[in-house]
Amino acid sequence: MFPHRLGLGLVAVALGASPLAAQTTPIAYEKVRLIPIVGDEIEDGVFVIQDGKITAVGPRGNTDVPANAERIDAGGKVIMPGLICTHSHIGGIGGADGSKPIQPEIRIYDSLNVRDPGFIRARAGGLTTLNIMPGSGHLLSGQTVYVKLRKAEKIDDMMMYDADGKPLGGIKMANGTNSQKKPPFPGTRGKSAALVREKYIKAREYREKLRKAANDPDKMPARDLGLEALVEVLDGKRVVHHHTHRHDDIMTVLRLAKEFKFRVVLHHISEGWMVADEIAAAGAPCSIILVDSPGGKLEASRLSFETGAILERAGAKVAFHTDDWITDSRLFFRSAALGMRAGMSRAGALRALTLAGAEMLDLQDRIGSLEIGKDADYIILDGDPFSVYTKVLETYIEGKKVFDRTDPNDRLIAVGGLGAGVEQRSYLCCQDDGEHAE
């Protein structure tokens, strides 16, 4: 009946929480401490949502509350946007296999388990949007997906879609030691870059053939799922999310991005602090991780808590990521707080959990801040976001509650206990005894 593929996403997004009702009752939170991300924090604010969207946000007295609104006295609790993780591995995923080092045809979409408790754990941490990626054991391990942590029975209902109804996502690449192994994988850094360049040159030629064919079925090249994905990368429609640690590997990524004009987000960058000015000059956004000590692999042995601060001072865009299971989604605030401990500004640390991540996923018009017209993705906290003692009380996506700490099932996941965890972790393609993964 309705052209369901085309526009399904738009319809779902537009109607948000209530696909049937045209208008639902607005909900107005009062006596709330607002952290809107865009603009100053508001000590005594009002926050109004309706039909899955934010309809008002501002200080009490200056902000109109609709007459028909259901009013909630928040009693001084904190409301801020749902957190955005630009690099997660939850969902029981499996990406590219061991057959070759470059596999752009792989969609992580096809391996997600909607019932993975990792999704609940992420909601418990206040996360609402994730970029779920395959692992780093390949030069290119597949297409990533941007998902909202909606309660869903099938993964399609968690996906985010573009105007044509296509699922949104980027592509995962990696360099450095994780993707170096026995043939057909590269054994050196030089070979790694050469293989990537060869593939992108092929993609360019493929794109040229597509252009010349101009949709004439007789002239179209044979469909190649991998090259099709890389054409999207070359066209700037699909962002490259690039795992890279060492300072020279980071420079290699920037060099390749320049050559093929692909849009890139630098991920992890343990040694990013050494080339912060170069990163800033290239305008490459950085999605970083902090773990509790340096080391593991050689290229992460100079990891620093100060990376975020140094990049911020250099003028680079910084987001944090969980890399879940490397760090736990329930402790996402902790990552940014440790960054702040090492010199990041509070505003920068808050942005690094929200709007900066949205920008790296091209979703800044829909999520990442409390602004009128954006999705009503928000969380309620019982204290300052950067205190260890603070709890995420409730998490909302498009106006719908998806986590409630007072619900025994949700609480079990939030603190752990019998039945909270899983038998197996996600398959990231390259860990042996947990030694060579992310």
Partner 1 sequence: MNVWTMSPLFLRAATLLTLLTAARTTAAQNLVVYADKLYTMAGPPIDMGVVVIHDGKIVEVGPAIEIQVPETYEVRQARIVTPGLVDVRATVGLTGILNYDHDQDQLERSSPIQPELRALDAYNIKDELVTWVRSFGVTTVHTGHAPGELISGQTIIVKTAGNTVEQSLLVSPATIACTLSSSARKSGGKSPGTRGKMIAMLRQELIKAREYLAKRKKSDNDKKPARDLKLEALVKVLRGDIPLMVTANRTQDIASALRVAKEFDIRIWLDSAAEAHLMLDEIKAAKIPVLVHPLMYRSWGEYKNMSWETPMMLRDAEVPFAMQSGYESYVPKVRVILFEAAIAAANGLTFEQALASITIDAARILGVDQRVGSLEPGKDGDVALYDGDPFEYTTHCIGTVINGIVVSEVER
Site residues, partner 1 (CB under 8 A): 291-298, 300-301, 325-326, 328, 331, 333-334, 337-338, 340-341, 386-389, 415-425, 431, 433-435, 437
Query: At closest approach, how far in Å is the CB of 252 from partner 1?
Result: 22
**Nearest to partner 1 of 63, 301 (CB atom):** 301
Cα 91 to the center of its chain, rounded Å: 14
DSSP 8-state symbol, 179? G
**Nearest to partner 1 of 236, 295 (CB atom):** 295
Query: At closest approach, how far in Å is the CB of 337 from partner 1?
Result: 3
Query: At closest approach, how far in Å is the CB of 379 from partner 1?
Result: 17
Query: At closest approach, how far in Å is the CB of 428 from partner 1?
Result: 11
**Nearest to partner 1 of 2, 389 (CB atom):** 389
Q: Is residue 263 classed as helix, strand or coil in its secondary structure? A: coil
DSSP 8-state symbol, 157? G
Cis before residue 184, ω within 30 degrees of 0? yes
**Nearest to partner 1 of 256, 303 (CB atom):** 303
Query: At closest approach, how far in Å is the CB of 341 from partner 1?
Result: 5
The burial of 19, by beta-carbon neighbours within 10 Å (0-12 exposed, 13-18 middle, 19 or more buried), is given as exposed
Written as one letter, the residue type at 345 is S
**Nearest to partner 1 of 155, 336 (CB atom):** 336
Task: Determine how β-strand 392-397 pairs with β-strand 78-81.
Answer: unpaired
Of 53, 71, 70, residue with least CA distance to 399: 53
Phi-psi map region of 248: left, alpha, beta (phi>0 left; psi -120 to 50 alpha)? alpha
Q: Is the dihedral of CA 178, 179, 185, 191 positive or negative?
A: negative
Query: At closest approach, how far in Å is the CB of 45 from partner 1?
Result: 24
**Nearest to partner 1 of 107, 268 (CB atom):** 268
**Nearest to partner 1 of 72, 326 (CB atom):** 326
**Nearest to partner 1 of 116, 278 (CB atom):** 116
CA distance 254 to 226: 22
**Nearest to partner 1 of 165, 296 (CB atom):** 296
Query: At closest approach, how far in Å is the CB of 43 from partner 1?
Result: 20
**Nearest to partner 1 of 143, 426 (CB atom):** 426
Q: Is the dihedral of CA 283, 284, 289, 290 positive or negative?
A: negative
Query: At closest approach, how far in Å is the CB of 374 from partner 1?
Result: 28
Contacts within 8 Å (CB) and 24+ apart, 184-190: 184/99, 184/100, 184/101, 185/100, 185/101, 185/138, 186/101, 186/139, 189/248, 189/249, 189/252
Q: Is residue 169 classed as helix, strand or coil in its secondary structure? A: coil
Query: At closest approach, how far in Å is the CB of 361 from partner 1?
Result: 25
Q: How is the beta sheet containing 83-88 ordered, strand by strand?
A: 83-88, 127-132, 145-148
Q: Which two tokens stand for residue 53?
A: 């969207």
Task: Determine how β-strand 127-132 pairs with β-strand 145-148.
Answer: antiparallel
Query: At closest approach, how far in Å is the CB of 358 from partner 1?
Result: 23
